[in-house]
Structure 1
C-alpha cells in the first residue's frame, strides 16, 4: 500500500538519523515498527452456527479448497488460512509449537471424529494453511472456526475468545431461515468484543426466498446490533473464479465482501501500524529538536548557557527519578496489578459459585444416572463461558491500567497494551484426565429382588415371632406383611442410592470446578505478571531514552558554554542545519500521519 511505503521511507530516514546522532535506543523501537509494517497481519474470524457454509465461504473468498467441507461432519478445530509462497500446512499446538504436515492430511485433523493429537500426543489446537493468493498477500488471515452450537456451548465460548483477539468478524448465517435468538445473542457479544463485524447471508443460490430472509435479518440487526448484511453464494463465486467470469462473480455477491475486507480491514491494519510507526518517529523528532534547540540557546547567548545547563540538570534529576521504584508510574503499575489480581480471582470464584449452585439445582431435579452425560457437557460449556467473561474483565482492566501508567509517566502510551496478550482461556475448562468417580448404575433386577426378599423375610419373620410370643398365629397375614415390608425396604434402598448418586455428582462438579479454577487462576496470574513486565520494561526503556537524550543535550550545552566566539558562530551554523533536517523529518512524519 502507498501509505505503508511512505511510512517505511520515513522510518528509514529516521533510522539514518539515529545512526548520525548516536541513538541506538530509539533505533531499536523504530526497527520494531518497521518490521511490523513489513507484515501487517489482520485476523478475520469467520464464525456462525453449524452447517451454515463457513468453510465454503472461506474457500470461495480465496478461490481454493483450503477448508474441508463435508455434508455430514462439521469443523471441529480452527483453520487459519494465510498467504504463503507455496501451498503448505501445519498443526498448531497449545504451547505455541507447530508441526508441518502434507496439505492432503488437513482433513484428518479438522473434522469431528478426526485426529486430535500430534505424534507425541499433544492436543492439536488448530491447523494453519498457507497458499499464494492475492487477497491474502496484504497480511489477511482468515480463521474458519467450529460452529457456535448455541451461546452456552464450548464452541461458542472458543469462538468468542477468538473474536476478542481478532481485527474483524464475518458472521455467517444461512438463507434457510431468519436469524435465531442464539445467533443474535452471539452477534451482540461479538460486536461488544470486536468493533468490526459484518453479517453474511449464504446459500442464496439454493433458497429462492432468500430476499425475504434478508429483509427479516436486516430488521433483527437494526433492532439489536446494527451492522452490514451481505447476501452471497459461495457456489457461484467458486464457479466464477474457476472460469474467470466477471458477471457471475458479481452475481455471487462477493464483490462487496472482498471490498469490505480489503478496504475496511486490510487498509485499517496498515493505517494503524503506520500511525504507530509515525508516533515513534515523532518522538525521536521531539528529542532531537529539544537537544539542538537547547544547544542553540547556549550558543546564541553565552550568558544564558548557565541557565540552560541548570534547566537540563533539573530535567536529568526528574528523568532519573522516573527509573526508580518510587516513581509514580511504577507504584501505579505495582498497585494496579495487585488490585487486578485480587479482583480477577474474586470474579472467578463468584462465577464458579454460581455454576456450582446451578449444578446442585439440576441434580436435585433429576437422577444423575439419567442426566450425567448431558450434565458433563453443560458443565464444560458453562465453565468455558464463565472463564471467557473472567478473561474479558482481565483484558479490559489491563488496558485501563496501561493507560493510567502511561499518563503518570508523562509520555504518550504506545500501542503495546492496545490488546493485552491474553490467550484463549476456553481450553482451560477442559480437564482431559478428569474422573468423575460416580457410580451411576441403578440396582439390577436381581439385586432389587434380593433387597425386597431380604426386607420381606425379615419383616415377616419379625411379625411371626411376635405373634408366637403372644400366642397368635398370623398365617397368610404374615405373607402380606412380608410383601409390604419388602416393598418398603426396596423403596428405601432406591432412595438411599439416589441420594448417594446426587451427593457424588455434587462432589464431582465441585472437584471439576476446583480443578478448572486452579488452572485458570494460575494462568490469569501468569498473564498479569507478563503484562506487568511488559509495561515495566517498556516504560523503563522510555526513561532510558529520555535520560540518554537529556545527557547528550546537557553535554552539548556545557560544551557550548566553553566555546570561543568563533567556535560558537561556526557551531551555530551547524546546529541550525541540524534543526532544519530534524524539522524536515518532522514534516514528512506529519505528512504520512495526516
Structure 2
C-alpha cells in the first residue's frame, strides 16, 4: 500500500489531464474548482492545537518542538492568558490583538519577542508589571521563519485548563473547531484529574478521536523528574479508559523532557537529546499531523476530480449513443432527454425557482426539532444539578466545583446538539442533492457556543432583591459583576473565532486573496454577514468572562448554612435555566441559518454550473445528429478517444479513493 506522500503525487499527476479535458469542453467553472482543490494539496494548511492542565509545560514543549528556546515565556508560576497562534513567515512578526474597552477601540499592535511576557502572562497583569494594555489582550499571533512551520503547520498554544484561572477551559474549547489534531499535555508527576478527563471527553468528541485516534496525541512531560516513567504512561492509558469511545491502546502517548531538549539546544550534549525522548515524539508527531491533514485534503481533491470527470463523461457518452445507432426514434429520445435536462437546470437557476424556499423550510424544521431537544435535555441537566448540590456538601463548600459541574454539563450538551445539527443538516442536504441532481460540497455546520453563565440583567429583571433576603441580594451583586466580565470575554472570544475563520479562509480561497484585509471584511459590522466562527467565538467568550467574575464573587457562600446556600442557589438558578434555554435556542437558530445561507450560495453556483454543462451536452448531441459521412466518422473517433481518456482517469480516481478509505480504516 502506498503512503500518503506517494498517493499525493499520484493525485497531483491526475490534475493536468482532467483540467485539460475540462478546458476542451469549455467547463471553466470546473477548471476553477480543480485549481482550488489542487492548490489545497500544495499548501497543506494544518492546525495543531496544544492543550492541557495549568502548569503542565505546554509553552516549554512548544519552544522545544520549534527549537526556539525563549520564544514563549516559561515559568512555573506563570499562566498563558490568551490563545497564541504560531505560523511561518519570512520574518518574525508578533502581533497582539487588543479588545475594545470603554473609549478605547479594538486594535492590533506589533510587539517584540521581549515584550511577550508582559502581554501574555496572567501573573504579569496580576502582579502589576504587565504592559499598559495587557488586560485587553485577546489573542497573540506570531509569524516566524521556522522550518517546522514552513510546511503549513499552524501551531496553537492555549491557556491552561484548571488551575487558578479555571475559566480558561472555555477559552481553550473555543479553538477546537480549527484543530486538525490536538496535542494534549500531561506530566509524569501528577496523575490525570477527573476534571481533565471530562475536558478530554469534549476534546475527543470535537476531533473525532474515536474513529481517528491519530488526531489526539498525548505527551507526558517532566519525565526526567519521574522515578518511573513507564508507570506514569501506564497510569495515563488506564485513566483514559474512562473516556467514552476512546481506545487507549490505539492512542499515541509519548513521555518527554522539554527541559533536557532545551538544554540540548543550547549546550549540544547528545545525551540530553537522547534522554529527552524528543526523537520518538517528533517521529510520531510531524508525520501523524501531515497524514491527518493530507487525508482530508486528498479526499476533497479526489471528490472534485471524480465530480468533474463524471460531468464531462455524460455528454460524451450521450454523443456516442447518438452516433452508434441509426434508429431515428432512439436519437430523438436522447435529444429530447438532453433538452429536458437543460430546461430543468435552467429552471433551477432561474430567480423564481422555489428550491431555496424549500431548503429554508426543511432547515427550519431542523431548528424546531433542535429547540425541542434543548427543552428536554437542558431541563434534565438542571434536575441532575439541583439534586447534586443538595446531596453533595463539597459542591456547596466550593462554588468553583459547582460551576465546573455546570460548565461540564453545558459542554457535553452543546457537543451533543452540535452533532445533531450536523446529522440533521446532512440528511436535508442529501435529500436536496437527490431532488436537484446537483452535488453539494461538504459544508458541515460549525459547533455551538457554550451557553453563558447568568447575566445581571436577566436575573435582576426576573427576581428583584428583597431587603429581607440579603443572600439573594449578594448573589445578584455577583451576577452584576459578572456582566462586565462577560462583555470583555465576548470580545476575546470573537477574536478566537476570527482565528478559526482565517484558517478556514486559507483553506478555501486562492493564496493571493488570503490577506488580513480579507478577514477584516468578514468581521462583525464590516461585511455582508458575520463569520459563523466569529459568532460562535463571541458567545463562547461570554461564558469565559462571566465564569471568572461570577466565581470570584461566590466565595462568600462558604460562610452560610447548608439550607441557606441551597435556597440562595435555587433562587438564582430559577432565572438562570430559562436564560440558558433562550441562549441555546438562539444559538441553534443562528448556526442553522448561517449554514443554510452557505449551502444556498454554494447550491446556486452548482446549479449554474450544471446549467452550463447541460447546455453543452444538448449542443453536442445536436451536432452529432447533424453530422453525416466523413464528418460523422471523425466526430465518432474523437468522442471515443475522449470517452476512453475520461474513463481511464475515473477508474484511477476511484482506485485511489478506495486505497485512501482502506488505509484510513486500518
1:106 to 102, 108, 116: 116
Greater shift, 547-556 or 214-223, is seen at 214-223
1:44 to 38, 41, 48: 48
Q: In the superposition, relative to structure 1, how do residues 349 and 307 fare at CA in structure 2: closer, same or farther (>3 Å)?
A: closer
**Do residues 77 (structure 1) and 82 (structure 2) align?**
yes
Deviations 1:187-226 (Å, cap 9, x if unpaired)?
Answer: 3343233212222111011222333323333333356541
Alignment of 1:406-555 (within 5 A): 406-408=429-431, 409-410=433-434, 416-417=442-443, 419-422=444-447, 425-426=449-450, 428-429=452-453, 508-509=572-573, 518=582, 520-555=584-619
Deviations 1:496-540 (Å, cap 9, x if unpaired)?
Answer: xx9999988766555566666555543432221111122222234
* Distance (whole Å) between structure 2 residues aligned to residue 198 and residue 121 of structure 1: 32
SS class of match (1:135): coil
**Number of residue pairs matched by the alignment:** 532
Deviations 1:332-385 (Å, cap 9, x if unpaired)?
Answer: 74344223322433444556656766887899999xxxx89x65x567656654
Aligned match of 2:256: 232
* Distance (whole Å) between structure 1 residues aligned to residue 125 and residue 21 of structure 2: 54
* Distance (whole Å) between structure 2 residues aligned to residue 345 and residue 545 of structure 1: 36
Aligned match of 2:477: none
**Do residues 298 (structure 1) and 337 (structure 2) align?**
no
SS class of match (2:442): helix
* Distance (whole Å) between structure 1 residues aligned to residue 600 and residue 99 of structure 2: 27
Q: In the superposition, relative to structure 1, how do residues 218 and 355 fare at CA in structure 2: closer, same or farther (>3 Å)?
A: closer
**Do residues 138 (structure 1) and 151 (structure 2) align?**
yes
* Distance (whole Å) between structure 1 residues aligned to residue 596 and residue 20 of structure 2: 33
* Distance (whole Å) between structure 2 residues aligned to residue 213 and residue 289 of structure 1: 58
SS class of match (1:248): helix
Alignment of 1:263-412 (within 5 A): 263-303=287-327, 304-316=330-342, 319=345, 333-350=359-376, 353=379, 375=399, 381=404, 384-408=407-431, 409-410=433-434
Aligned match of 2:188: 175
* Distance (whole Å) between structure 1 residues aligned to residue 34 and residue 597 of structure 2: 21
Greater shift, 107-116 or 530-539, is seen at 107-116
Report the alpha carbon displacement of residue 407 of structure 1 after superposing the two structures with TM.
3.0
Q: In the superposition, relative to structure 1, how do residues 182 and 119 fare at CA in structure 2: closer, same or farther (>3 Å)?
A: closer
Aligned match of 2:172: 159
Contact preservation (8 Å) 1:356, 1:510: no
SS class of match (1:71): coil
SS class of match (2:227): coil
* Distance (whole Å) between structure 2 residues aligned to residue 220 and residue 383 of structure 1: 23
Aligned match of 1:67: 72
Q: In the superposition, relative to structure 1, how do residues 208 and 378 fare at CA in structure 2: closer, same or farther (>3 Å)?
A: closer
Aligned match of 1:579: 643
**Do residues 199 (structure 1) and 218 (structure 2) align?**
yes
* Distance (whole Å) between structure 2 residues aligned to residue 427 and residue 118 of structure 1: 32
Contact preservation (8 Å) 2:438, 2:610: no
Contact preservation (8 Å) 1:77, 1:109: no
Greater shift, 316-325 or 165-174, is seen at 316-325
Rg larger for: 1
Greater shift, 22-31 or 154-163, is seen at 154-163
SS class of match (2:219): strand
SS class of match (2:638): helix
* Distance (whole Å) between structure 1 residues aligned to residue 634 and residue 53 of structure 2: 74
Q: In the superposition, relative to structure 1, how do residues 509 and 402 fare at CA in structure 2: closer, same or farther (>3 Å)?
A: closer
Deviations 1:1-49 (Å, cap 9, x if unpaired)?
Answer: 5544554453344334333321122223223323322332222222221
Q: In the superposition, relative to structure 1, how do residues 406 and 256 fare at CA in structure 2: closer, same or farther (>3 Å)?
A: farther
Report the alpha carbon displacement of residue 273 of structure 1 after superposing the two structures with TM.
0.7
* Distance (whole Å) between structure 2 residues aligned to residue 162 and residue 389 of structure 1: 16
Report the alpha carbon displacement of residue 587 of structure 1 after superposing the two structures with TM.
5.6
Give the alignment's TM-score, normalised by structure 1. Answer: 0.75
* Distance (whole Å) between structure 1 residues aligned to residue 390 and residue 289 of structure 2: 50
Report the alpha carbon displacement of residue 51 of structure 1 after superposing the two structures with TM.
0.9
SS class of match (1:205): helix
Report the alpha carbon displacement of residue 78 of structure 1 after superposing the two structures with TM.
1.8
Report the alpha carbon displacement of residue 243 of structure 1 after superposing the two structures with TM.
4.5
SS class of match (1:149): coil
Q: In the superposition, relative to structure 1, how do residues 94 and 546 fare at CA in structure 2: closer, same or farther (>3 Å)?
A: farther
Contact preservation (8 Å) 2:438, 2:606: no
SS class of match (1:416): coil
Q: Unpaired runs of 5+ in structure 1?
A: 443-497
SS class of match (1:59): helix
Aligned match of 1:217: 236
Q: In the superposition, relative to structure 1, how do residues 562 and 245 fare at CA in structure 2: closer, same or farther (>3 Å)?
A: farther
Report the alpha carbon displacement of residue 292 of structure 1 after superposing the two structures with TM.
1.4
* Distance (whole Å) between structure 2 residues aligned to residue 394 and residue 332 of structure 1: 23
Greater shift, 511-520 or 225-234, is seen at 511-520
SS class of match (1:392): helix
SS class of match (1:136): coil
Q: In the superposition, relative to structure 1, how do residues 360 and 299 fare at CA in structure 2: closer, same or farther (>3 Å)?
A: closer
Report the alpha carbon displacement of residue 386 of structure 1 after superposing the two structures with TM.
4.7
Report the alpha carbon displacement of residue 573 of structure 1 after superposing the two structures with TM.
2.7
